Amino acid sequence: MVETLDLGEGRKRITVRRGGYTFSVLTQGAILNRFTLDGRNAILGFDDYKAYIHAPSYMGQVVGPVANRIKGASFQMDGKEYLLDKNDKENCLHSGSRNYGDELFEIAGLSDDSVTLALISKESAGFPGNHEVMVTYLLSDDGTLTIDYQIRSDKRCPVSVTNHTYFNLNGGGDIRDHVLRLDAQEYLRVDDDLIPVSVDKVEGTDFDFRIPTRIGERRGGAYDHCFSLDLDGAIVVESSDLRLTCRTSMPAVQLYTGEFLSSEYSAYDGIPVGPFMGFCLESEYYPDFVNHPNYKGCYLEPGLTWRASTSYRLERI
């Protein structure tokens, strides 16, 4: 069953119910607003869409055209230098002011189990091309929420689109007691500005989650790092009674454990938003691939369609 609610100022919330599962998305930023099992919400978010606009955390947004950080807020492509917004010290984070997640999408399709949102993102903030963006959220009977992305551009452009939902399988509180298994033999070591400097083995480091490990067991639970996924690799996170399994067609995932989470707005039920209240699994290419020819990345050619898919399955243990 699908329902659409007018929130005012051109924004809408679309809710899909299937069995014991429910999800809702906003036309603002194609934001994933809720994902519930038997009424238990597994993500962090707001009731008021205005909170998403003002929150600095990219909460629930579809981030693009290039997620994560670009060093020096610039890159070279085909002999030309492209200058981007500096919104993370001297670097560009999540596409600066070009970010899809700050824009208003239109409803392009509805069914009993899916929502498709569309956006025309005009060329701006240094990124080349006008982009046609299509995002589909699809819910299956077994509690798998799949996000399908399609992007077209009229100019050659780097692309690495993700979703920035903060999950919390307890429905609130600190997520560092969650247990994580991440099928990755390599991660991207970063400098003090979280810019990748090398691709390193996880073995013998605080970044080895190949065996299920409590998030807070090492580093105080503070992670904001990209992991290179094994072939057919998965990310599995468990609380005391829920399990979240993430799979993606993308080669990597950014694990962010919400160390710097904050908001002047309260989350659902009036709960203040603070550090470590949610974790993100941002499927992506390698951060800053535009400045590293050996990093896994993608350049979309005019006339072609970039496609990617990421799924999150929620189930009881």
At 293, the amino acid letter reads: P
Q: Domain range for residue 227? A: 2-316
CB 253 within 8 A of CB 227: yes
Q: What is the DSSP letter of 49?
A: H
DSSP readout, 41-76?
E-B---SSHHHHHH-TT-TT-EE-SB-SEEGGGEEE
For residue 54, what is the enclosing H or E element?
helix 49-54
Percent helix, strand, coil in the chain (nearest 5)?
A: 10, 50, 45
- CA angle 209–159–188, rounded 5-degree value: 30
CATH number at residue 135: 2.70.98.10
Q: The whole model's pTM is what?
A: 0.96
Whole-angstrom distance between the N-terminal and C-terminal Cα of the chain? Answer: 26
Give the pLDDT of the chain (317 residues) as one tens digit per residue. 899 999 999 999 999 999 999 999 999 999 999 999 999 999 999 988 999 987 779 999 999 999 999 999 999 999 999 999 999 999 999 999 999 999 999 999 999 999 999 999 999 999 999 999 999 999 999 999 999 999 999 999 999 999 999 999 998 899 999 999 999 999 999 999 999 999 999 999 999 999 999 999 999 999 999 999 999 999 999 999 999 999 999 999 999 999 999 888 888 878 889 999 999 999 999 999 999 999 999 999 999 999 999 999 999 99
CB 314 within 8 A of CB 212: no
Residues recognised as catalytic? 164, 282
Cα–Cα distance measured from residue 19 to residue 251, given in angstroms and rounded to the nearest whole number: 32
Total domain count, the chain: 1
CB 274 within 8 A of CB 267: no
Cα–Cα distance measured from residue 236 to residue 245, given in angstroms and rounded to the nearest whole number: 4
